[in-house]
Amino acid sequence: MMRCGMYELVVDLRGEIVGAGAGAAALMRLPVEQVVGRPVTRFLRGPAMTAPYGTAAAVVIKAHGRGNTNGLALRAIDGERIHITLLPAQEVSTPAPAAPRLRTIERLVDEVVRDVQNPLTGIMGFAALAQLAPTPHRRRYYLDQVATQAQRCRRLLQSLDASVRPFTPYPAATDLGEQASLTVGTARLQLEGHGISVEMSLPGAPVWVETDPKLLGDAIVCFIHRGTLGLRKEYCAREVLVRVTEAPGHAPRLTLELSGSDVPNDALRERFSVERPPQAGLMTLSDVEFQAACDALREQSCVLKTSASTDGETVRVTLDLPRAAPPRKVDQTRTPVPLDILAIDDDAMMGELYHELLGVSGHTVTSCRTLRSAREALRTQRFDAVIADFFLSDGTFAELWAEAAAQHPELTQRVVLITGDRSHAQVREWLLRDRTPVLPKPFTTQALLAQITSLTA
């Protein structure tokens, strides 16, 4: 936790608080340790959060369990940290009238729902690209993009103070090798920090199974932690081998071999056994979690088995999973004619996603983030189609097209409108007048390519 002034907050580039002064935490009616690590948008809202650096502006400070505090905030940037100095002015202890408060909540929900559509589209798009990556490095890049957009979604939802619903397993086609690699890769630093070596053995081609990837990842971590970092003193494996296999005529299998214990003891096999009833008084939280993970896997038709070597030095955990058919590849919808496409979206991630997804199908994409840059691109380049978000940072697509349609009549029937708010009055007016194809956010890779294919028909 970073040191800072009495009424100061320090925020990283992800929007999370990494340092808080005692005075600032007191305004929020929380101890400092409960403020640090949370999104700053959970506590501060108002013009000050977007005002220029060095300019004080109004801010509303949300107090835990109490009314809000009005004040001023001054932001300054220092490298990769943003320092926010709070100046409390007036406390509002009485609740706001019900109707205005309800309108505020509805407006906040609308903003979050609208903003979350881009990262959701990014998650679906980059996840599809990961299956087509020509190199492991490119595949890693696409998966990192998926993780980044998932973090964007989490931050947006946290700004609502939304509660999390219980997790419900949802079976889907999952690459068993990829999921095992991601899971072990995440836990590797922790394991190696305890002197535990981890090895992976994966087949050259994807092994498709039908299971919930989150559930599978949680189960792998649970198996490894119970046999290595240890919940009891009798056994602590120092070596872990994770192997994914797929033999003809057999179910795809994940195997975990845990070995290298300094204290030979076959108690580990019992610890992994899920057939025996728990002993009264000895059920720990981790035992409950482990039992729940095993039960959930069985509900998805997974078969879990354990065995141990005769000397008790090695324990093997095998998990057989239902086979799944490989998903249809994106490039199966490849259009017969490559197009030069202009993509207009003020979200940088969306521009990159259009470039990657449409590039897989052989198209060339020029991305613009403003109406100004789009006007310049239309003036200096030739395009076969246009993909555009309706609302941009410096106006609407309708403003651009009112000027560009006369200069580029060949594009009037080759426009795909992207929007997350088809009910907006301006969007409805545009659709009634121009009959432009609409792709609502969030959209899938197949939906985007289908729209592009329709333009060439």
pLDDT at 303: 86
Spatial CA neighbour of 309 closest among 264, 354, 252, 277: 264
- Residue 329 near residue 130 (C-beta atoms within 8 A): no
At residue 300, does pLDDT exceed 70? Answer: yes
What is the model's pLDDT at position 383? 92
Q: What is the pLDDT of residue 148?
A: 87
Burial 190-227 (b: 16+ CB within 10 A, else e): ebeeeebebeeebeeebbbbbbbbebbbbbbbbbbbbb
Under 8 Å between Cβ of 32 and 64? no
How confident is the model over 427-453, as a mean pLDDT? 81
Nearest Cα neighbor of 86 from 20, 17, 16 is 20
Looking at residue 262, its pLDDT comes to 52
pLDDT band at 253 (very low <50, low <70, confident <90, very high): very high
Contact 431, 422 (CB under 8 A): yes
Higher pLDDT, 387 or 227: 387
Q: pLDDT value at position 168?
A: 56
Q: What pLDDT band is residue 245 in, cutting at 50, 70 and 90? A: very high
Give 395 or 278, the one with higher predicted confidence: 395
Rounded to an integer, the average pLDDT of 221-242 is 73
How much is the pLDDT for 105? Answer: 55
Which CATH architecture does the domain made up of 330-456 adopt? 3-Layer(aba) Sandwich (3.40)
Which whole number is the average pLDDT over 294-309?
A: 79
pLDDT surpasses 60 at 334: no
Confidence of residue 135 (pLDDT cuts 50, 70, 90): confident
Mean pLDDT, residues 296-319:
80
- Which has more confidence, 204 or 157? 204
**Lowest-confidence range among 76-80, 123-127, 130-134, 243-247?**
76-80
| pLDDT band per the 50, 70, 90 thresholds, residue 387 | very high
Q: What is the pTM of this model?
A: 0.44
Output the pLDDT for position 325. 84
3-state secondary structure of 393: coil
When the pLDDT of each residue in the chain is averaged and rounded to a whole number, the result is: 78
Query: Would you list the domain boundaries of the chain?
Result: 8-92, 172-320, 330-456
Tell me the percentage of the chain whose pLDDT exceeds 70.
78
Give the residue from 305, 300, 344 showing the smallest Cα distance to 324.
300
CATH class of the domain defined by 172-320: alpha beta
Give the model's pLDDT for residue 353.
92
pLDDT of residue 266: 43
Asked if residue 319 has pLDDT above 60, the reply is yes
For the cut 70, the answer to whether the pLDDT of residue 29 exceeds it is yes
269 band by pLDDT with thresholds 50, 70 and 90: very low
* 155 pLDDT more than 80: no
46-105: per-residue pLDDT in tens?
A: 888 877 777 777 888 888 766 677 888 888 888 778 889 887 664 444 444 444 544 555
Q: Comparing C-alpha atoms, which of 52, 91, 92 is closest to residue 73? A: 52
Task: Indicate the fold that domain 8-92 takes in CATH.
Answer: Beta-Lactamase (3.30.450)
* Residue predicted with more confidence, 357 or 337: 357
Which pLDDT band holds residue 443 (cuts at 50, 70, 90)? confident
List % helix, strand, coil for the chain (3-state, nearest 5): 40, 25, 35
Q: What is the mean pLDDT of residues 32-47?
A: 86
pLDDT at 277 > cutoff 50: no
Query: What does residue 237 show for φ and ψ, rounded to 5 degrees?
Result: -65, 145
Total residue count of the chain as it appears in this document:
457
Which pLDDT belongs to residue 340?
92
